[in-house]
Amino acid sequence: MIRKVKLLFHTVKYLKFSQLWNRAKRNFSTPCVNTSSSPGLSKPKNEFQTVALSQQKMLNSNTFRFLNETNSVKASESWNDDNLDKLWLYNLHYFDDLNAVNSDKRKEWHDSLIQKWIKENTPGCGNGWEPYPSSLRIVNWIKWSLLGSDIKQDWHDSLAVQVRYLSQNLEYHILGNHLFSNAKALIYAGLYFQGIEAEKWYKTGITIFNKELQEQVLPDGGNFELSPMYHAIFLEDLLDIFNIHQAFNKQFPYDIVNKITSMFDWLRVMCHPDGELSFFNDSAIGIAPNLTELDGYAERLKIPLSKKIDELTHLCDSGYIRVQKGNLVALLDVAHVGPSYIPGHAHADTLSFELSLFGERVVVNSGTSCYGVGVERLRQRSTSAHNTVVINGNNSSEVWSGFRVARRAKPFDLEINKSNKQTKISCSHDGYKRLRSGLVHTRKWTFDSNQLVIHDFVNRPFKEIEVRYYFHPKVEVKLDVSGKKGTASINNKNMISFKVQQGVASILDTTYHPEFGLSISNKCLLVKLDSLESKVCFFW
């Protein structure tokens, strides 16, 4: 009980007063349902450009595949089936398939699905009327219409009911990407419809948007949740908002083009050579459009982008570093947990890193395959699921429940030294000081043309100190009997050797989670320290 109270205290102390106040208000107020007819429609003055298309989600008229799980929606109860995962049900209410690859071939399914949703989801009741899925669905219905689909009057009436309900149910108690998605939906509805009611929706949405844009996009271009996946989602949101303003010949929101270009620069830095996201904090492939798809969307909108990546890039406001040297690309995490008042998507991954060699992923963080409050969710957020130091089985930041963080690791003393032949980066964090006063973990990365040395220091003795290095499933790992030397090969080629110069190593069978609902067997190099430091050298 004492531990739970401490966790709660060290979590709540970071919240904004507005979050607490609005959470309390929600207990005493219920949005009202207004079922009057929809306002009239505005007429676009320019072409609404094709959006970033998602992957197909509908397998037939009532069967869906989300998060690598397939289920059918045959009865009205299926929309809120307690036997199905909450996130899966959320996806069911998003209607992403309306704007997916080859969606025009599934128009009859979509027509039937919209009619079914309206009939079986009583206004104000169930998962579909919660503000986040409402926001995504409103935008998807409007995109679908603007891209040429005919929407019946009763569908427009339902859409207006959804927008009215959402406008009274904005997520000020959560803030972050949830409130931003609410604002985006109001902007879309405000431009799509016309009249006084629509103008009010637009004004509310654009006011929130302008404030959140300045807060949520850091000066280095990163989204403040410090998740490459949520960064890509947010970037798609900006492109969508640019798109609809252009279509209705409405003045663009202030600074939106600069934010878009800086966010592209950030995302390009944080992707591996395979073009997909790195796995820091909650990140997985297949949820957001990838970099190639976003580049294509920006090209259709005629937004000029730079695709240049420097050999060394320090995203100083976000806390990530990219080193690109010959066949090597390394991404280093020297970031704070952020944002402080909504760290729900943060992992205890301070001073972790990922490594690609010869264009292939080699050392990987474990990824994200699930949300919720289960044991697996906690494990995937834990320090032990990342490429960094674990002390006595503890997390460097106190991640708990599904989306909570209490005491947080604070990185400090970052040093970056680059010469023609070597790049040296070192950083420390104090996340374990709650275990022992003054306890600090320091990591040093040294990059040569064909070698990477990772040197870890802990300044206080502990019973169990270990370092973990997770390998991509394609990598075959072998360790000799001494526990000091080994090899890692990708498809029986591109041989990489590693040497454990301090500490004793073993190979663990573990799992890798590049997508939601997906678990793939992989290997982990576990180095147990027999002193206060560990040194592992990778060379190729």
Residue 470 lies in a domain: yes
Residue 231 lies in a domain: no
Same domain assignment for residues 321 and 204: no
Residue 117 lies in a domain: yes
**How do the pLDDT tens digits run along the chain, 540 residues long?**
888 899 999 999 999 999 999 999 999 989 999 999 999 999 999 999 999 999 999 999 999 999 999 999 999 999 999 999 999 999 999 999 999 999 999 999 999 999 999 999 999 999 999 999 999 999 999 999 999 999 999 999 999 999 999 999 999 999 999 999 999 999 999 999 999 999 999 999 999 999 999 999 999 999 999 999 999 999 999 999 999 999 999 999 999 999 999 999 999 999 999 999 999 999 999 999 999 999 999 999 999 999 999 999 999 999 999 999 999 999 999 999 999 999 999 999 999 999 999 999 999 999 999 999 999 999 999 999 999 999 999 999 999 999 999 999 999 999 999 998 899 999 999 999 999 999 999 999 999 989 999 999 999 999 899 999 999 999 999 999 988 999 999 888 878 999 999 888 999 999 999 999 999 999 999 999 989 999 999 999
In DSSP terms, which residues pair with 476 in a beta bridge? 489
Which stretches of 83-152 are DSSP H helices? 86-94, 107-120, 131-146
Question: 454 — phi, psi (to 5°)?
Answer: -110, 120
The CATH number of residue 129's host domain is 1.50.10.100
Q: Whole-structure pTM over 0.95, yes or no? A: yes
Nearest alpha carbon to residue 432 among 402, 455, 409, 412 = 409
Same domain assignment for residues 333 and 189: no
Which domain-ending residue is among 155, 186, 212? 212
Which domain-ending residue is among 212, 235, 267? 212
Same domain assignment for residues 369 and 515: yes
- The domain containing residue 61 runs over which residues? 31-41+55-212
Residue 457 lies in a domain: yes
Which domain-ending residue is among 212, 241, 258? 212
- Tell me the CA distances in angstroms from 259 to 33, 213, 244, one per residue in order: 36, 8, 17
Residue 136 lies in a domain: yes
End-to-end CA distance of the chain: 51
484: helix, strand or coil: coil
Q: For the beta carbon of residue 60, count every other beta carbon within 10 angstroms.
A: 9
The count of structural domains within the chain is 2
Residue 285 lies in a domain: no
The CATH number of residue 360's host domain is 2.70.98.70
Residue 467 lies in a domain: yes
Residue 166 lies in a domain: yes
Same domain assignment for residues 208 and 316: no
